[in-house]
Amino acid sequence: MGRPEAAYRAAEGGALDVDRAFYDRVASAGRERVDAFEVPIRSGQAWEVPRGHLCRLVTVEGPQVGDLNLWNRHDPRERLWASRTRQLQRAHVSTYDRLWSTLPFLRPMVTVTSDTLADYGTDAEGGRVHDLLGTRCDPYVNRMLTGEDFDHHCHSNLVRAVLPYGLTEFDVHDVLNVFQCTGLNDEDRYFMKSSPARPGDHFEFFAEIDLLCALSTCPGGDLSVPLWGPDARDPVDVCRPIRVEVYRPDPEPLKGWSPPPTAQYAGAHGLRAQTWAEKTAGTD
């Protein structure tokens, strides 16, 4: 007997359907590179991606996990909603999946257009790549587990990265763990294992809206060395940079495209203002 259907489904042609032919045209068309840089090991960097542009993350020297945050460049209250994306898409994303924003906006922020690890699938231990199951490593949990302070966990890297844009620790949110291989074990507990990324592998997405992005190169590197527990050690020797590339695609395949609108819910959550008569009732 097969497993139950996914809970979040839409009618054919509904909001969850993706025009794959459109994204294939955009991904395969000519493009102009407008920005490129490397995020060094155990650090973070923020950058902008205009709507209608492509952004590619590349493991230039070999496997390395990157923790990605996304915001609306013009309103950082709209940001990646990892848990809803797990429900609307998958717990591990790949080509044609979308990353959705928080309420009350609820719209796709990006659509994945190219993933060289798309064929990885599910390995013998139940691991899959590009993880939304977990979140960023942080110094608070690290202190709790080890009794030591460490200032270059992904949370802290992202905090430093967004400060020039006027954002703070309170704006850093649950991440997409790019190139990270994870799953749930027989005890239904989260596990991480070595990243299968190779030199030159990439994960690319199309910006549906103007974005502020931030990426941390995880201090665990490729996660081949445990960060916590009896076998833990400093895995600095398995840490590598990640290259970021931003491209402006040729305009032809974008004809007719427009950024997605925000959520169309028009209600007031069951709340309404009192009328003057209601306010003054019984006051005579």
pLDDT in tens, 224-253: 999 899 988 999 999 999 999 999 999 999
Q: Which residue from 79, 160, 76, 85 is spatially nearest to 130, judged by alpha carbons? A: 85
Task: Specify the pLDDT at position 3.
Answer: 85
Among left, alpha and beta (phi > 0; psi -120 to 50; other), residue 201 is beta
Q: How confident is the model at residue 284 (pLDDT cuts 50, 70, 90)?
A: low
pLDDT in tens, 87-118: 999 999 999 999 999 999 999 999 999 999 99
Cα torsion at 98, 86, 172, 180 (round to 10°)? -90
Residue 27 lies in a domain: no
Residue 195 lies in a domain: yes
Mean of per-residue pLDDT scores for the chain: 95
Residue 46 lies in a domain: yes
Average pLDDT value for residue range 161-174: 98
| Burial category of 193 from C-beta neighbours within 10 Å (exposed 0-12, middle 13-18, buried 19 and up) | middle
Average pLDDT value for residue range 42-52: 98
Distance CA 206, CA 51 (A): 8
Distance CA 157, CA 150 (A): 11
Locate 201 and state its tokens: 């592998």
Task: Specify the pLDDT at position 73.
Answer: 98
In percent, how much of the chain has pLDDT > 90?
A: 88
pTM as predicted: 0.94
Residue 83 lies in a domain: yes
Residue 254 lies in a domain: no
Domain range holding 221? Answer: 34-249
Which residue in this structure is represented by tokens 């998958």? 90
Is the pLDDT confidence value at 166 over 70?
Answer: yes
- Domains of the chain: total: 1
Average pLDDT value for residue range 191-203: 97
Least trusted range by pLDDT, from 58-62, 239-243, 266-270: 266-270
Residue 116 lies in a domain: yes
Locate 93 and state its tokens: 């994303």
Q: Which residue from 174, 202, 15 is spatially nearest to 95, judged by alpha carbons? A: 202
Checking DSSP bridges between strand 190-193 and strand 44-49, what pairing results, if any? unpaired
Task: Specify the pLDDT at position 266.
Answer: 83
Residue 67 lies in a domain: yes
Task: Specify the pLDDT at position 283.
Answer: 67
Distance CA 97, CA 90 (A): 8
Task: Specify the pLDDT at position 1.
Answer: 66
Which element (helix H / strand E) includes 248? Answer: strand 242-249
Residue 194 lies in a domain: yes
